[in-house]
Structure 1
Amino acid sequence: MYKAFYGLNDNPFSIAPNPHYMFLSDRHREALAHLTYGLGETGGFVLLTGEVGTGKTTVSRCLLQQIPDNTDTAFILNPSLTELELLATLCDELEIKYGDNPTLKQLTDLISMYLLTNHKNGRNTVLIIDEAQHLRSEVLEQLRLLTNLETNTKKLLQVILIGQPELQQLLKRQDLRQLAQRITARYHLLPLNKDEIGLYVLHRLQVAGRHEPLFTRKAITALHKHSGGIPRLTNLLCERALMAGYGQAKVPIDHKMVNQAAVEVLGDIDAPNDKRWPFIAATALVLAFGLSFYLFNRSAIDDKLNAHTELPANQSEPSINTPALAAIASAANQSITAQAPQIQTSTPVVNAQQQILRQAMAQSSSIDNAFAGLFGLWSKQPIIGLSACQAAQQQDLACYQQQGNWHSIMRLNYPAVVYLQDAQANVFYGVIVERQVEQILLQLGEQQFWVNKDWFDRHFSGTFEILWQPDSILPREIGVSSSLAQVQWLENSLAQVNKRRARLLTQFDSELEQQLMNFQRQHGLKPDGIAGNQTLVQLNLYLSQQGPRLSASLERS
């Protein structure tokens, strides 16, 4: 109806998942890349999650346009099925014929035969399930069993699960742990930020034929505010705002039209409450209590004096504790001005600091937040949808987890995520940022605290993880039968760690073996005299010159 008025040849803000309108923000590009990567792997499960309306289905439709021609695809939109119904639907999608009232085994056999035939003919098979958060656990287990069909190099069925964030929680169930371990790629799609909303709206208008901006900057800000960055809600708001502009014959679309569209689409939007009123009320209550307390005590004192004695003529009446009331009033005024959540009390500084530390401990139960802090020390960032170690590998870093103590961490001299416990054995996570003799700077969430070795020893559970950047590709193992170049590298590395001069070797001799075993004992490794993976990683941690350190001046001890 309004297309000609705005110079459009199509409806730009339809909520249908049209890949033609696909806006590839950085997040959507990453999501599509993860799905493509998962399909290029040797099989298993790929996971895409996101809030309602963030564009998951549109990404999947875009993926379908990019899959190779030698791929057969089954797309299930309604996963609220039983095990038998799911297999029957899969057969329908792949055009596998089956008889009346088939059993679970018959359908499984037919699908297995189809997969084997496809593999023999050089074809791949992909199953995409949308709204996968509605899948029952027994159906997910049946899917896992289907992916058991494999050759020596790949699985014959690849499954892409697309769903809301509840799907992540579902896959954390103990009875689904085998399936969770088969997820080769995962990504969580976040809403768009304000800049991306502006680009998103402009992109859709351009695809529909209009290349001039149609929404003001304030309108874009209002769109982001009301939609929360959700593309589907943005489409609904834009559609309604365009209708309003058409009705008023007004161009461009301003923030007032968007606000009105939000009221019509999302319902009544309450005006923000004045957050000062709760604190004003609390302040008035404190003042009233203080005054009542004073008057009550004043009355009691007067009664007692009247009953037992008379004041001398030259003695004044008991004075009001003006400084105390002034302090209450001052604190109340500060609370109103700063809108602080609590009125300040006069507790000792040490107790206040301890309280802040305890609160930070209680709020540091997320290991992902701890790793975000560790990535920051490396000037890197975690990647949404990937584990910390997967994100590290994407950025040319490596993860290393070890059991140890204070000395183990200080000897390596790397910032570390540490697994800690409070007095009630509740687990929390922190990042060791810096060391100064017997103190460390510990980051808990967004706060940092200097704690001493005794405090750390009381709370450290024994597990820590670090990031590091390997300087070279490690050999798998160095032993007596290894090449002379590898043997000499091992000698040079041990000499550098022990700060001695390296020897020129012609073979893996007994002295090198003894030096290697000493190094292994020192680091809690099996002293077998063979430089396996754990030993080589430990050596490289010492030798690497890349990345941050806990202390630039102190030697590893």
Structure 2
Amino acid sequence: MYKAFFGLKDTPFSIAPNPEYLFLSDRHREALAHLSYGLGDTGGFVLLTGEVGTGKTTVSRTLLKQLPENTDTAFILNPALTELELLATLCDELKINYPESPTLKQLTDRISEFLLENHKNGRNTLMIIDEAQHLKAEVLEQLRLLTNLETDTKKLLQVILIGQPELQQLLRRQELRQLAQRITARYHLLPLTEDEVALYVQHRLEVAGRYEPLFTRKSIKALHKHTGGIPRLINLLCERTLMAGYGQSKVPLDHRMVNQAAQEILGVEETSTSKYKWPLITGGTLVASFAVAYVGFTLLQSPQADSKSVNQANGVTDSVKLPRKNAALTQMISKSRNIDTAFAVLFGLWNKTPYQNLTSCQAAQAQQLNCYQKQGDWKNLLKMGYPAVLYLKDDAGQPFYAVLAAVDGHKAYIQLGEQQLKVEQDWIDAHYDGTFELFWQNVGAPNQIITRYAPIEQIQWLENQLANYNHEKPREMTHFDASLIRSLKDFQKQNGLSDDGIAGKQTLILLSLYAEHSGPDLSAAKELY
């Protein structure tokens, strides 16, 4: 019921393991890569462990979506079974017929026949067991015996064991040493760091349709403190915090609200510093239309410029002396506190308009544009070449917003409210808060991550984009080869991404952003000024 209030099209913090909401932290990327590697041609057993709620099941279901079409999969969720029950369940999952009241040998023979026939037909067979820490030692030994069926180069049954840390202890038992030796890849999934919590929360909000930040920095710190970085607990606290924000009509959601949610859900004791003193939040009205009034350009060599001349729209007037503390600039900044005003300017550069009762990103999507927000060095923005809203702070640490419309060497054309300015890059560096947002148009980037299991059309798209980025001629691809992996890892390193060789959401977005522009360009937009 809070979705419309926050501009969401879905509930972003459900605890159901929906692969669409998978946040690929460095650890999740590594886990996915390890699973993919372990399922190579020679793989037998693959092990994925982690604490409750770290995202193990979601990772495994994402892997399922990436598997080639010639893979038959059995997914077992309840492993508290006897050997006979487990084999019968495996037969049920793979649609293998067996007689009523079968013996262990009958089930084993039917499964062996199925595996041989699958291999003959060029098909793979995969078994995934969740909550595998509940498996009995004798059941694990039966699984090992099943994987004895192999060719000279390949196991005919591959098994992924997913469980809590106790599974590692179970596999250290003496009677299971043979199985332990057959584990070709293992990975332990750790909780999220504080920085990853911020990215995780924003990712889920974006998937649900909201691109503007909703949680404050202090609320993210509180989320990490109360949850220890466990995604499932983060979802629970965020869901309760959204409900509280909706009930109180509060935006953004601050740390006090998260503390209250932790007290209600996790039983965290309330301290004197966590009592609520709700701030009065006044919301700005979304600008329905915005006419840019050209007032002039002022060249600011630094925040302490002594004097500059102001050029009027109808011609150059006499020079206006500005004091060391630029009063005119201070007034411009004071009129640039509303981010909606900045977005209205950005819409204008795209020849679009903001919509009433929609967030800026929702309005952009309604007009065939995509939103992108980045926290980091704004120089990355210059490589992308798109105009953007910059998050800035004044000398008192208070936020204000400007639109970076064009760049000419070390000078930038920006807009503060209705004022257009040309400033030195040093001025941007002195005020930049570390975040920018921009609009862009998709050039056909796939919606799902690209791995070696992806369709050849997606692999070719990846090769084309990387070749374009490196100013090279793209190759004609037949599979996800080692050269493509090297190019992908190099791109990820250069852009501050985890170099895991998997083209995830952020990699795909950046490749699209670096592609040929179909909208306003930072180098060309200066002609408009």
Partners of 1:105 and 1:270 in 2: how far apart? Answer: 60
Contact 1:124 1:157 in 2 (8 A): yes
Match of 1:49?
49
Residue 124, structure 1, aligned to residue 113, structure 2: no
Question: Which residue of structure 2 lines up, in the alignment, with residue 173 of structure 1?
Answer: 173
Whether the 8 Å contact between 1:48 and 1:56 is mirrored in structure 2 is yes
| Contact residue 54 and residue 189 of structure 1 kept, 8 A | yes
Q: Deviations over 1:410-469 (max 9, x none)?
A: xxxxxxxxxxxxxxxxxxxxxxxxxxxxxxxxxxxxxxxxxxxxxxxxxxxxxxxxxxxx
Does residue 197 of structure 2 align to residue 202 of structure 1?
no
Q: Which residue of 2 aligns with 1:15?
A: 15
Gaps (5+ residues) in structure 2? 273-529
Q: Do 2:78 and 2:131's aligned partners in 1 also have CA atoms closer than 8 Å? A: yes
Confirm or deny: 8 A CA contact 2:132 2:163 kept in the other structure.
yes
> What's 1:192 paired with?
192
Take 1:44 and 1:153, find their aligned partners in 2: how far apart are those partners? 11
Shift of residue 267 of structure 1? Answer: 1.1
Q: Secondary structure at the match of 1:161?
A: strand
Shift of 1:99: 1.3
Query: Percent same amino acid among aligned pairs?
Result: 82
TM-superposed deviation, 1:271: 5.2
1:99-145 Cα shifts (integer Å, max 9, x gaps): 11000000000000000000001111000000000000000000000
Secondary structure at 2:185 match in 1: strand
Deviations 1:168-213 (A, max 9, x none): 0000000000000000000000000000000000000000000000
2:164 corresponds in structure 1 to 164
Matches within 5 A, 1:118-517: 118-269=118-269
Give the equivalent residue in structure 2 for 1:115. Answer: 115
Deviation at 1:270, TM superposition (A): 6.5
**Is contact 2:41–2:153 with CA below 8 Å preserved after alignment?**
no
Aligned to 1:63: 63
Contact 2:263 2:270 in 1 (8 A): no
- Distance between the aligned counterparts of 1:152 and 1:227, measured in 2? 48
1:43 deviation in Å?
Answer: 2.6
Whole-Å separation in 1 of the counterparts to 2:271 and 2:165: 30
Q: CA deviation at 1:40?
A: 1.3
Partner letter of residue 164 of structure 2?
A: Q
Rg larger in structure: 1
- The equivalent of 2:32 in structure 1 is 32
User: Which blocks of at least 5 consecutive residues in structure 1 are unaligned?
Assistant: 273-557
Output the CA distance in 2 between the equivalents of 1:24 and 1:155: 29
2-side partners of 1:162 and 1:119: how far apart?
Answer: 25
Whole-Å separation in 1 of the counterparts to 2:27 and 2:197: 12
Structure 1 runs of 4+ aligned residues shifted over 3 Å read none
Q: Is the 8 A contact 2:13 2:235 kept in 1?
A: yes
Deviations 1:467-496 (A, max 9, x none): xxxxxxxxxxxxxxxxxxxxxxxxxxxxxx
Give the aligned CA root-mean-square deviation in angstroms. 1.0
Correspondence for 1:395: none
* Alignment TM-score, normalising by the size of structure 2: 0.51
How far has the Cα of 1:153 moved from its partner? 1.2
Amino acid at match of 1:261: A
SS of the aligned residue for 2:57 comes to helix
Q: Does 1:72 align with 2:72?
A: yes
Give, in whole Å, the separation in 2 of the partners of 1:180 and 1:145.
Answer: 13
CA shift at 1:269, angstroms? 2.5
Distance in 1, Cα, partners of 2:97 & 2:175: 32
How far is 1:223 from its partner? 0.2
Who is 1:103 aligned against? 103
CA distance in 1, matches of 2:149, 2:40: 17
Question: Between Structure 1 and Structure 2, how many residues are aligned?
Answer: 272
Distance 1:197 1:58 in 2: 17
Secondary structure of 2:66 counterpart: coil
Q: Is the 8 A contact 1:214 1:251 kept in 2?
A: yes
Q: Is the 8 A contact 1:43 1:156 kept in 2?
A: no
Q: Kindly indicate whether the alpha-carbon contact (under 8 Å) linking 1:215 and 1:254 is maintained by their aligned counterparts in 2.
A: yes
Q: TM-score, normalising length from structure 1?
A: 0.48
